[in-house]
Structure 1
Amino acid sequence: MNKYTYAVKGHNNLLLRFEKPTRFSEGIASRLPEAYMKFWNEWKVQEPSPVHYIPEPGKWKRNPETGEVHPVQNTPIPLIYPKESYFGLWGGEGVIKGFQKRHRLRKRVPHYWFPTLYRNVIYSEILNKRMSTIVTHRTMQLIHKNYGLDHYILKTSACDLQSKLAMKLKRKMLLSLLKKDLYPDDEVKREEVYNTYKHYLENYSEEEIDWYGLTFFEAIDKQTRLEEAEKERNTVPLKTVYRSELIQKLQEAGIEAVNVALDEYEGKGSVRKSSWISKLNPFSSRKQDS
């Protein structure tokens, strides 16, 4: 009986409850480190802050006209994030899909509400760069509220940033602070900027910063390269394996000249001499010292 079969003793016709498989259940994705899983939960699992509605406090509310008590339902408005939003800073805003009744005698029709977008230049003090990108009015309000782009990016969670550009900027900022390679030509400015933003490093380890801001496919590619590099480091050349096996067989056969030849080949003697064991090595030099 496999995990998709129905019954357990005493529970007829009840489907067993098993954990739903995800993209991280098998394959190389299942070997991704906890550092990346922490970022993924912050990006995809954590509930983002409300942007297009104001949540009501408490669990119950009373209708002021009828006096009836109803439960508070803070249902998030479903948003659409087009690919253009990944390359700008929208401040968590998205496209709202709904219906609009344009005439009282006609049926409602589908309608999309888009945020107001415009191009602006933003400045990063940590990276010491100015960038021209697409922003919204809410983005600029958040930047001014947090006293600069760097504070806004470093303070905001990935689920609220949404933008891939914002997450790449956050990763570069954290790496610059970690390596302390900002302002290489100005030591005074480097110390000043580092002391201003260094407290953001307390929330991340070095490994978490290295994996932060990567998309799923970028993380898979990084993990693949790490595993291939580890495999190359642990791989022993076949010539070394075959040579060791041959020497072991000769030693087991009781050939005493093997140890002497090994000493000569490895250069343990005062003068390196030509021997029959060196002739077995196809990579050895043909010309031996006399």
Structure 2
Amino acid sequence: MGADLGDLSALAAVARAGGFREAARAGGVSASGLSEAVRRLEAGLGVRLLHRTTRSVAPTEAGARLLDRLGPALAEVEAAVDEVSGSRDRPAGTLRLTVPVVAARLILPALVPPFLAAHPGIRLEIAAEDSLVDLLAAGYDAGIRYGERLEGDMIAVPIGPRIDRFATAAAPAYLDGRGRPEHPRDLLGHACLRGRFSTGAAAPWEFERDGAVVRVDVSGPLTVRIGAGTDLAVAAALAGGGVIHLFEGWLRPHLDSGALEPVLEPWWQPFPGPFLYYPGRRLVPAPLRAFIDFVKARGAS
């Protein structure tokens, strides 16, 4: 059976948006047209592809298998059309990015407004999440990562500062009462505000000085989910609740204001900055190419 490309695109749009109305709003088409396209596709294939309820739409097992293969193929088609149409000169369309919360907070605010101003035909959809995501399966064009190993078919472009540090700090009143650590192991006697990854693993507290690395298994009264709960840990530190260990950029405003005091600054561990990454074995859609070029130009300026 030769499935119609428009019907396949409609299925992908509805699944990505989680509903017919949502997909219709995003694509500027009618919900009834999308519904008819999906029904036509299901009738031709002889299998149900979407579970429909009054509140949500989700792929069936067969639909999920089809969408896993369909997403990359549709992206190739869109990118090929962009190439032929010359839309690189006036890039338009939607660019979908998955980024860690820290990148959404520290990296993208300096990039997104001027990028959108320079490219009014592009719409950005950004999901801030700290779990690792399969770009193609989840329908993203690109992502940002700190330090994780990238798959062999991914292309990585530096984005943001190339070197960052983990900073350790506490409120001056807390340090006045509990003392100021002189060595990372002194933190074992302090109330530490910890973070936990989405996998359930606790974020390590590592320090480095003169080539020596010290890892401390701290404990304390508060543990938060990294990303979504980080601001709560910062608030607790500002209120004198304990010592926090976090990206320097996140803490820098409070360090500069004096609300937080640096702790063990000679031991703050540096690490490489983040990368924008995207699949290398496919044509690059025009909106993503425009963003890559913009990021590279900002890095060189």
**TM-score (normalizing by structure 1):** 0.24
- What is the TM-score when the length of structure 2 is the normalising length? 0.23
Q: Which has the larger radius of gyration?
A: 1
Structure number with higher relative contact order (C-alpha < 8 Å, ≥ 6 residues apart): 2
